Amino acid sequence: MASDMQERVSLYEEEPPTGNSSQESSRPKGLIRAKKEEEPRAEYRRRLCKQICIVVMGALGHFCLGTVLTWPSPALADLGTHNETLTGTELSLTETEKDVTGSLASLGSLFGSYIAGWFVSKLGRRRSLQLNALPFISGWLMTGLAPSAPVLLLGRFLLGIGVGLSTVAGTAYIMEVADAKFRGTMSIVPSLIIVIGGQVYTCSWHCIALASPLSSVFGTRNVPTTRFFPLTRISSFLVIKHRRAEAAVVLKQLRGNYADIDEEIDDLERRNRTTGGEDSGYRALLKANIIKRMGVVIALFLFKQLSGNYVLIVQTGRVLEATGTPFRPATAASIAVGMRLAGTTTAFFLIDRIGRKYCLVTSHAVNAISLTILGVYVYSSDGSLPWVPMVCVSVSLFIADLGLHPVPYMLAAEYFPTNVRIQVRPMSVH
């Protein structure tokens, strides 16, 4: 009996004086707060593996995003020699139409982002990710079976809508599921899957397009995903809806039995209160602190778009061909994708170690140097060093995935409270 009492008393510690009478009055004085048990290493590993699986399942739609981004590079090169469609007609694109194949996807993603904002707020993350299969499948079928250029370009626009949906819904899901200390690392997973999805340079243009709907189905509604999707009820969304009990259940499933669930929920409530949590949607965007943060995020995305890296990703083969590189388009595309994969893998291990700021600054600086050397070579060289453009493009693609690409998306999710996060993302990303 005495040993039981001694063990029970050892679970508690004396409450230190806080000097806050309101907090002290809400608790009994003396022995009240239990010491926090340390999470066993085996439990920690099991929980981390579970979170990784959930994040990967939520990011599988980004595989389709990767194929959409890189399709023009190998496809336009293949169209130059194999322009016969599956319906027996010949498909030829003008130089303007070739340029539009990339820009139409960007235009479609603008509309897709705003559609995703409504879907996520009304239907939730799970349904939004599943509905994302519709524009991807229809867009790829139109692209692969296109009898003429207008049909192909319309398919690219629909694919852009899918890109916007995947970017908003998938990224919001991942950033809110992962533990805070792993959030930066977990946010690299979509970038890694995008790069893997870009490995589409070995097939003909219509085979690539017709095989991609399978990845759309797999990436948005496969059997393992349905097992994990009940956890997509994001705790922060439940908190602002004043469903604290449900939020606690979801957080316990994600954080385990040794996390301080009440503290995390209190933090979510406090952050939404201090940023105008009573207002939601577009009304809350008028608050001064939200406008300031939007300015920062919009500037980051503006610098990202002006860096020119998107053109290198979409039109790798055409850019290298114009610079006189002796590599075949498929070989150049494979090297470029390999460099992006290396850059994303490096960011996976560095983003939480050295911080987002240093990754972002380093990425912009090295990218600017690489593109400057490329521009000087193209306009002043006699072509005696044909390997220089390939090196510059490879370095630019590698370093961009270290910070230039992932960091703005991270901050677009982390800078804002839950009640305005979905409304802000379409406005800042584009």
pLDDT tens for each residue of 134-157: 888 888 888 878 888 888 899 999
Q: Which residue has the tokens 């508690």?
A: 12
Flag whether pLDDT at 114 surpasses 70: yes
DSSP codes of every residue in 241-292: TT-HHHHHHHHHHHH-TTS-HHHHHHHHHHHHHHTTTTS-GGGGGGSHHHHH
**Cβ-contact 117, 422 below 8 angstroms:** yes
Spell out the SS3 assignment of 167-209: HHHHHHHHHHHCCHHHHHHHCHHHHHHHHHHCCCCCCCHHHHH
Q: For residue 65, what are the CA distances in angstroms to 139, 149, 190, 194, 303?
A: 12, 22, 10, 6, 21
Longest dimension (CA), the chain: 92
- 217 versus 344: the higher-pLDDT residue is 344
- 73 versus 214: the higher-pLDDT residue is 73
Q: What is the mean pLDDT of the chain?
A: 74
Question: CA end-to-end span of the chain, whole Å?
Answer: 67
What pLDDT was estimated at residue 2?
Answer: 44
Flag whether pLDDT at 176 surpasses 90: no
Flag whether pLDDT at 164 surpasses 80: yes
Which has the closest alpha carbon to 169: 58, 253, 246?
58
What pLDDT was estimated at residue 372?
Answer: 93
pLDDT tens for each residue of 257-300: 777 777 777 777 776 665 554 455 566 677 788 888 888 888 99
pTM: 0.69
pLDDT tens for each residue of 376-429: 988 887 777 888 888 898 899 999 998 898 888 888 877 777 667 767 777 666
Position 236 confidence tier, pLDDT thresholds 50, 70, 90? low
Position 233 confidence tier, pLDDT thresholds 50, 70, 90? low
What pLDDT was estimated at residue 395?
Answer: 92
Which has the closest alpha carbon to 363: 331, 398, 400?
400
Q: Which domains does the chain have, with CATH numbers?
A: 2-34 (no CATH), 41-232+275-429 (1.20.1250.20)
Which has the closest alpha carbon to 294: 306, 277, 282?
282
Position 240 confidence tier, pLDDT thresholds 50, 70, 90? low
Backbone angles phi, psi at 84, to 5 degrees: -85, 130
**Cβ-contact 66, 193 below 8 angstroms:** yes
Q: Which of 40-54, 205-219, 355-369 has the highest mean pLDDT?
A: 355-369
CA 291 to chain centre: 23
pLDDT tens for each residue of 319-366: 877 777 777 766 776 777 788 889 988 998 888 888 888 999 999 999
